[in-house]
Amino acid sequence: MNTIKFELMRQWIRAAALAAACLAVAAPGWPQAASSKEDEQVKVRQRISTMEGVLERAVSNGAENLLRQVRTVMPDPLMLSGVPKVRGFRLDGYGVFFDVEVPALRLPVTWPLRYLIEDNRAAVAAAVAELRTMIADQPARERDRFETLAQRLESRAVTPRTTPRQADPVVTEPEVAYTNAVRASLIDAMIEHSGPMPVGVDEWLTVAARDNAPRDPLMPGDTAGLNTLIFRVKGSDLAAFRAGRMSLEEMRRHVQVQEN
């Protein structure tokens, strides 16, 4: 009996020693593999974060391009409802997706009067009269500003026009011009700065740009500069562009655009 117990004890010790040896050999590999995977995830997150900043600047650049054009044709400033915000995600099996919040375009209250001033003096007079009725409802600190505006409108209404007005899309359709400026800037940014993005040849780089402000039906002129625009480009096309097999102009045509 003692011999059997001794043999069982010896076999148990050998099995425990063998298991400990196996653990000693395998253990160093586990943290190393986990660390390598974690490092790669950190790098992907850093690249996406960099692209977030690129797309935010692209929206700002597109907006500034429009505002600069507006300043050349009229003094009344346009305003934006905030600043662009971008969030990016890696979606396994699909590619990389960016959600872009685009500041809404806000037009000054005098914007609809622009062409009335130049084309229809009777309508201008009526608009000035309506504006003066609004002055009484304004806080005292705002009344002088509105009165000055009314006087400016009156003075321009009596000034004869020497040359015919040319329709300028920046003035006639500022929201459309804003959309086009932001659209062009975003497309170029996602093409030219996509090199570090972890997008496979069969995957997609997608940017969804949407207006960040809700509509206010009680605010005159509160229309959308952007609803939602979705831009998609295939990883294989991006690889061809980086390899010099496709020009920037050709790449622009390969970007799929969907409006919702």
Q: Given the DSSP bridges, would you call strands 256-259 and 105-106 parallel, antiparallel or unpaired?
A: unpaired
Residue 17 has what pLDDT?
A: 56
| Mean pLDDT score, 6-31 | 52
Lowest mean pLDDT among 99-108, 124-133, 217-226: 217-226
Residue 28 has what pLDDT?
A: 53
Q: Please, which pLDDT band fits residue 241 given cuts at 50, 70 and 90?
A: very high
Assign 163 a pLDDT band (cuts: 50, 70, 90): very low
Q: What is the pLDDT of residues 53-76, one digit of tens each?
A: 999 999 999 999 888 887 776 666
pLDDT tier, 14 (very low <50, low <70, confident <90, very high otherwise):
low
Q: How much is the pLDDT for 2?
A: 52
Q: How far separated are the first and last CA of the chain, in Å rounded?
A: 84
Which residue type, as a one-letter code, is found at position 28? P
Residue 138 domain-assigned? yes
Task: Write down the pLDDT at residue 66.
Answer: 86
Per-residue pLDDT at 49: 94
Distance CA 225, CA 163 (A): 31
Residue 228's alpha-carbon distances to 49, 209, 224, in angstroms, are 22, 5, 10
**CA 49 vs CA 26, 41, 99, 227: distances in Å:** 35, 12, 12, 24
pLDDT at 153 over 60: yes
Q: To the nearest whole number, what is the mean pLDDT of the chain? A: 77
Residue 115 near residue 133 (C-beta atoms within 8 A): no
Same domain, 178 and 139: no
Structurally, how many domains does the chain consist of?
A: 2
Out of 60-69, 71-80, 89-98, 153-162, pick the least confident.
153-162
pTM of the model: 0.65
Q: What is the pLDDT of residue 132?
A: 73
Residue identified by tokens 């605010």 is: 219
Domain end (from 157, 180, 195): 157
99 and 196: one domain?
Answer: yes
What is the mean predicted confidence (pLDDT) over 76-92? Answer: 87
215 and 117 assigned to the same domain: no
Q: Tell me the two tokens of residue 250.
A: 């050709």
Looking at residues 183-194, what average pLDDT do you find?
95
The verdict on residue 200 lying in a domain is: yes
Predicted confidence at residue 40, as pLDDT, reads: 81
Split at pLDDT 50, 70, 90, the class of 202 is: very high
Structural domain span for residue 237? 46-108+168-259
Looking at residue 23, its pLDDT comes to 47
Residue 4 pLDDT > 70 = no
Does 149 share its domain with 240?
Answer: no
Tell me, yes or no, whether 30 lies in a domain: no
What is the per-residue pLDDT for 124?
A: 66
Q: Are residues 93 and 199 in the same domain?
A: yes
